Amino acid sequence: MKGKAYSILQSQLPTKEAHAMLLGMVAPRPIAFVSSIDKKGKPNLSPFSFFNIFSSNPPILIFSPSRRVRDNTEKDTLRNVRAVGEVVINLVDESLLERMTLTSFEFPSATNEFDAAGLTPVSSTHVQPPYVSEAKVAMECKVNDVISLGKQGGAGNLVICEVMCIHVQPDLLDNNGQFLQDAFHPIARMGGETYLASSGRFDMNKLNRTVLGVHGLPKHIQQSPVLTGEQLAKLGKLERYPLIETFEKLHITTPATNLAQHQLAAKLIDQQQVEAAMALLCK
- Judge contact between 33 and 90, C-beta under 8 A: yes
The letter for the amino acid at 228 is T
Half-sphere exposure of 259 (CA within 13 A, CB side): 1
Which pLDDT score is estimated for 210? Answer: 85
Nearest CA among 121, 101, 97 for reference residue 44: 121
Which pLDDT score is estimated for 207? Answer: 58
Domain boundaries, the chain: 10-203, 214-281
Q: How many other C-beta atoms lie within 10 A of the C-beta of residue 149? A: 13
Which pLDDT score is estimated for 20? Answer: 86
Which pLDDT score is estimated for 185? Answer: 95
Question: pLDDT tens string for the chain (283 positions)?
Answer: 567 887 887 777 888 888 888 889 999 999 999 999 999 999 999 999 999 999 999 999 999 998 887 787 888 999 999 999 999 999 999 999 999 999 988 888 789 999 999 999 999 999 999 999 999 999 999 999 999 999 988 889 999 999 999 999 999 999 999 999 999 999 999 998 899 998 788 887 665 678 999 999 999 999 999 999 999 999 999 999 988 787 788 888 888 899 999 999 999 999 999 999 999 998 8
Which pLDDT score is estimated for 206? Answer: 64
Which pLDDT score is estimated for 46? Answer: 96
Question: Helical H runs in the chain?
Answer: 15-25, 76-84, 97-102, 113-117, 219-222, 229-236, 245-248, 258-270, 274-281
Q: How many other C-beta atoms lie within 10 A of the C-beta of residue 3? A: 5
Distances (CA, A) of 130 to 16, 69, 94, 176, 186: 34, 29, 21, 28, 21
- Judge contact between 159 and 48, C-beta under 8 A: no
Which pLDDT score is estimated for 71? Answer: 83
Long-range contacts from 184-187, C-beta under 8 angstroms, 24+ separation: 184/93, 184/136, 184/137, 185/93, 185/94, 186/30, 186/31, 186/91, 186/92, 186/93, 186/94, 187/31, 187/92, 187/93, 187/94, 187/96, 187/97, 187/100
Q: What is the DSSP string of 121-135?
A: EE--SSSSS-EETT-
Is the peptide bond prior to 58 cis by the omega test (within 30 degrees of 0)? yes
What is the spatial distance between Cα 133 and Cα 127, in angstroms, rounded to a whole number?
A: 15
Q: What is the DSSP string of 158-218?
A: EEEEEEEEEEE-GGGB-TTS-B-GGG--B-EE-STTEEEETTEEEE----S-----GGGS-
Q: How many other C-beta atoms lie within 10 A of the C-beta of residue 185? A: 12
Which pLDDT score is estimated for 242? Answer: 86
On whether the 10-203 domain is CATH 3.10.20.440, my answer is no
Which pLDDT score is estimated for 199? Answer: 78
Q: Which class for 20: exposed (0-12), middle (13-18), buried (19 or more C-beta within 10 A)?
A: middle
pTM flag (> 0.85): yes
Which pLDDT score is estimated for 126? Answer: 97
